[in-house]
Amino acid sequence: MQRALLGLLTGSILGLTFAFAAPIEVVPADFNGAIQPQVALSTDGRIHLVFGQGSALFYVTSKDGASFSTPNRIATLDKLALGMRRGPRIAVTKNLLLITAISHADGNVHAWTSLDGAQWQEQPALNQVPLSAREGLHALAGNGQNRIGLTWLDLRTGKMSLWGKFSEDGGLHWGEDRLVYASPEGPICQCCAPSVAFAPDGRIGIMWRNLLQGARDLYLTETKDGVSFSPPRKLGQGSWMLNACPMDGGGLTYDQNSQGLPVWKRLRTVFSSENPTIERKVADAAAQPVATFVGKTPLVFWESKGSLMLQRGNAAPQTYAVGGQYAAVASQGVAAAVAFEGLVRGRKTILCELQR
C-alpha cells in the first residue's frame, strides 16, 4: 500500500494531466539499481514487468496497476546485457509467460518460461550459433495466444545482421534461426535495438536501423510464417548520414485494423508514419521513441531535455515524467501500460502506469 500511495504522490509531482491512475513505483524504495523495464499485458488486464539489476533479472506483476508484487529474481547471468535498450524482455501467451535475456559472456539469448510467474523453468539457449548474440540487443513479442516472435542483432557471419526465431506454443518449442536481413554492403547499424510486433491479422513486423551508403535509416519487413519475409522498405522520406551508431532503434506497434505505426529518430527529430513513404514529425530535440495504442488512440512516448514526453492521439505533446527515460509500452484492447526509469524525490527507480 505504501508503494501505491507513493506512486499517486509521484504522479502529482510528475504533473500528469490524464484522468488515470498515476505512475506508481514498481520496486521497494530500498531496491537500488533497477533499470531497463519491459512490460506486457495479458488478456485479463494483468501487468507483467521484467527488469534488470546488475547481473540479475527480476519479474513483478500487478492485477490493476495500483500495487505490484515483490520482485521475484528469475536468474543471474554472467555479464547480463543491460542498459541503453539492452535488458530482459517479456511476452505473455495464452498459457505461459516467457522471459528472454542475453549474456555478453556467452553471447546467447537465454529464455525462461512460467505458468504462474512464481516458478520459472530455464529453456535452452535460443540462438543456434554460440556467441552470435553477444551485442546484447534483442526484441520479443507475443500475440496474446501462443505465437511468439524474437529478433536480435547477430554476429555469426562476422558482420552485424538481423536474425529471428519463432514459436507457435508460447516458447516451449522454436523453429530454426532465420536470417531476417543482411546488408549487401556490410553490417547493419551495430548498436540500435530492433523491434518486433504482432498485427491483429497475424503479420509479424520487424524493424531495425540499417546502414546503406552511409545512411542509418529505419527499415521494416513483415512475415506471416516466420520463414519468408517481405522485401525490406525504408521508413520516411529523409536519410540520416552518420558515421556512428545513434543507439536509438525506435519502436513499432499495430492498431486494431492491423495498420502499422513505426516511430523513430532521425538527427534530433522523432517521426512516425502510418504509410511507409510518408512521415509525420512528432517532435524536435527528441530521442528514444516508443508507441502503443489505447483502443484506437495512439500513444507516443519519447525523451526530450531530461523528461519523458507523451502525445496522445492528435493532442499537443506534454511532459509526462520529469527525469523519465527508456519507456517501454504494451497494450491489450482498451488498456495500455507504460513502464520507465524515473525519479521519486531524486531517487532513481522504476515506475509504471496502466492507462485506459
The pLDDT-based confidence of 356 (bands split at 50, 70, 90) is: confident
Write down the pLDDT at residue 12.
Answer: 34
Instruction: Quote the Cα angle for 296-208-259, to 5°.
Output: 25
Write down the pLDDT at residue 1.
Answer: 34
10 φ, ψ (degrees, to nearest 5): -60, -40
Write down the pLDDT at residue 21.
Answer: 61
Write down the pLDDT at residue 2.
Answer: 36
Query: pLDDT by residue (tens digit) across 234-282?
Result: 999 999 999 999 999 999 999 999 999 999 999 999 999 987 678 999 9
Write down the pLDDT at residue 278.
Answer: 87
How far, in Å, CA of 126 to CA of 123, rounded?
8
How far, in Å, CA of 113 to CA of 68, rounded?
20
Query: pLDDT by residue (tens digit) across 136-152?
Result: 999 999 999 999 999 99
Query: pLDDT by residue (tens digit) across 217-236?
Result: 999 999 999 999 999 999 99
Task: Return all residues near 304 (Cβ < 8 A) that are at least 6 apart.
Answer: 283, 285, 286, 287
CB atoms within 10 A of CB 275: 10
Say which range, 5-14, 59-68, 333-342, has the weakest mean pLDDT: 5-14
Share of the chain above pLDDT 90, in %: 92
Sequence letter at residue 91? A
Nearest to 87 by CA among 323, 308, 328: 328
Report, as an integer, the average pLDDT of 299-327.
97
Q: Is 39's pLDDT higher than 60?
A: yes
Report, as an integer, the average pLDDT of 53-60.
98
Taking the model in full, what pTM does it have?
0.94
How far, in Å, CA of 141 to CA of 204, rounded?
9
Write down the pLDDT at residue 259.
Answer: 96
Write down the pLDDT at residue 208.
Answer: 98
Say which range, 1-10, 45-54, 69-78, 178-187, has the weakest mean pLDDT: 1-10
Mean pLDDT score across all residues of the chain: 93
Q: Is 17's pLDDT higher than 90?
A: no
Write down the pLDDT at residue 288.
Answer: 98
- Out of 2.120.10.10, 3.40.640.10, 2.60.120.10, 3.40.50.720, the CATH code matching 2-355 is 2.120.10.10
Share of the chain above pLDDT 70, in %: 94
Report, as an integer, the average pLDDT of 126-133.
98
Sequence letter at residue 74? I
Write down the pLDDT at residue 8.
Answer: 37
Report, as an integer, the average pLDDT of 14-26.
63
Q: Is 179's pLDDT higher than 90?
A: yes
